[in-house]
A = this chain, B = another copy of it.
Amino acid sequence: MEVENSHIEGNNNNNNNFNNNNNNMVKDVSLQQLKVTLSEFARVRGWEQYHSPRNLLLALVGEVGELSEIFQWRGEVAKGLPNWSPRDKEHLEEELSDVLLYLVQLADVCGLDLGQAALAKIVKNARKYPVINLSD
């Protein structure tokens, strides 16, 4: 898994929420990075033959099921997960990740750019739900 920050030059982007790589720790993970990593992960294991769109979609549904199981008997859960054990939080992180990893791979085998699609959808949503400024 490679995390290339190599193009970074200079320090003038420190007030940018989206770019946390000066020359420090990796803090940010991109969809492109995950796509490339997962594609290689599957290739070296000979798994590409199983990664048809509908196979990956059903695998995604399976992981959404595992994610739901974590929440199923808890009643309403508060933001920040107060009173959850570190073990439960770690389990949740793993299931959230599994959903993400299959989603990234599904988009990839469909030949779609998930990151750009997500930005475009946010723009579309912003037009659909304009902000109403009550103080105007």
Whose C-beta in chain B lies nearest to the C-beta of A32? Answer: B28
A interface list, Cβ under 8 A from B: 1-22, 26-34, 36-38, 41, 44-45, 50-55, 57-69, 71-81, 89, 92-94, 96-101, 103, 106-107, 109-112, 114-126, 129, 131
Interchain CA distance A69-B12 in the complex, whole Å: 41
Contact among B66, B69, B81 for A110, CB-based, below 8 A: B81
Copies of this chain in its oligomeric complex: 4
Residues on B with beta carbons closer than 8 Å to the beta carbon of A62: 65-66, 68-69, 72
Are the CB atoms of B12 and A9 closer together than 8 Å? yes
Residues on B with beta carbons closer than 8 Å to the beta carbon of A26: 116, 119
Are the CB atoms of B19 and A16 closer together than 8 Å? no
